Every structure is written in structure tokens, then in C-alpha cells.
Chain A
Amino acid sequence: DQQVKQNSPSLSVQEGRISILNCDYTNSMFDYFLWYKKYPAEGPTFLISISSIKDKNEDGRFTVFLNKSAKHLSLHIVPSQPGDSAVYFCAATGTSYDKVIFGPGTSLSVIP
């Protein structure tokens, strides 16, 4: 049973618009969440993270929102750019964990 879910395998957005990528988790012990971005033929790279003591974290065009009661987080990209086209992985871990659990990924296409 997947502990981290990304229910949209793919998403297509027009350049300049907002991209919203969603992630749900089932384990209430998770208290730290990360987003990774992956281009074809490359390894994933860290994008942004959020601790459970916060409900929002912002870094430039990227904002992650956390709703602990719903066990849901989302990544907002504003404005979206063609270079943002990649696979985005949501991941979760916690202070009582020694590993990170990844979701299946969402493939984002930003159309010029």
C-alpha cells in the first residue's frame, strides 16, 4: 500500500499559468515533506521542502502548502515556464524514520 500518493500521473499547463501538483500521504508519523524534480536521463534534484510545523513554504516561483489534517500537500509553480517540464516526486519522512518514502511522480508539461 502506497504511503505517498500522487494521483495525477500527468499534468499539462500553459506557459505563464499556475501549475498545481498534489500529493497525499497516509502515515501520520511523517513530519517532513520534500519535492524533487527529475529531467529525463538525470537523477532527481531537490526542489523545496516543508516541515509539519509550517503550513506554507515559499522559494521563488515555488510554494508548497501543507494541510496536516487532510494529510495533503501541494506544490504551486507560478508562473510556469517551459523549463519546468519534468517529473515531480513528492516524498515524506520523519524524525522517527531513517528513510524517505517517494510517491509515483507527476509528469508536468508546460506548453509555450
Chain B
Amino acid sequence: NAGVTQTPKFQVLKTGQSMTLQCAQDMNHNSMYWYRQDPGMGLRLIYYSASEGTTDKGEVPNGYNVSRLNKREFSLRLESAAPSQTSVYFCASPSGTYEQYFGPGTRLTVT
């Protein structure tokens, strides 16, 4: 039982390049979330999916797209990366009691 897994762990992109961050959970939870963590800002919600087939914008969705491929997988895509998207990205999946299980994170640098 791995919980929440994320790939890749690290990535360096040039401005304008695209990439997809992958997330998978094996806890059979309905909801999945993508956050970014920046110094002094805490964890800010980018997009979330309350159930398979649905996605909604969070606090900071601009520049990102998501796909809820199935119940297990929720991917985050950067179509044209910008230096402002340099951050640590966390995928999370909550249990029914609001407690969120987080993946190990993806550290992304955009130059």
C-alpha cells in the first residue's frame, strides 16, 4: 500500500516547455488534489477532483490543466512553463474526515 505516489521527483524546464506531473493513489479515495508550496505562502490549491470525471479550479489555476484519468490517477499539465511556476508540487487525496494524504512532492524549476 503506497498511498500517494508522484512522478517525477525533480524536473528542470526551460521557459515555454511543457510537462505533465503524474499522481496516483491506491486508497480508493474519490477526491484528489494538486497543491503548490512556495516559501511564506503555505500550500495553495491549484485544481481538485471531487470524483472520477470531474475537475474544478482551486485558488491558483492559471497556467495549469488537469486530467482525472480514472479513480486512481490525477495528472497536472503545464502547457507553457514560466519561471513563476517554479515551486514544489504536491498531490493529495483526502479521506472522508478531511485528513489529506500527501505524495512526496515534485520539485520543479523553470529557467
| Chain A residues packing against B (C-beta within 8 Å) | 4, 6, 9, 32, 34, 36, 41-46, 49, 89, 93, 98-100, 102-105
Q: A41-B105, A42-B104, A43-B90 are in contact. Are A49 and B43 (CB under 8 A)?
A: no
- Judged by DSSP, the binding face of B is strand
Residue B80, interface by CB 8 Å: no
For chain B residues 92-109, which have a beta carbon within 8 Å of chain A?
92, 94, 97-105
- Contact (Cβ within 8 A) A43 B104: yes
In this assembly, does B110 line the interface, its C-beta being within 8 Å of a C-beta of chain A? Answer: no
Query: How many inter-chain residue pairs (CB < 8 Å) link A and B?
Result: 54
Residues of B that sit less than 8 Å from A by CB: 4, 31, 33, 35, 40-45, 48, 50, 56, 58, 90, 92, 94, 97-105
A90 to chain B, nearest CB (A): 9
State how many angstroms separate the Cβ of B14 from the closest Cβ of chain A: 24
Q: How far is the CB of A53 from chain B (nearest CB, A)?
A: 14
Let me know if B105 and A89 touch, CB within 8 A. Answer: no
Contact B42 A93 (CB under 8 A): no
Q: Which residue of A lies closest to B6 (CB)?
A: A43
Could you tell me the distance between the alpha carbons of A103 and B94 in the complex, rounded to whole angstroms? 18
Query: Are the C-beta atoms of B102 and A44 separated by less than 8 Å?
Result: yes
Smallest Cβ-Cβ distance to A45: which chain B residue: B102
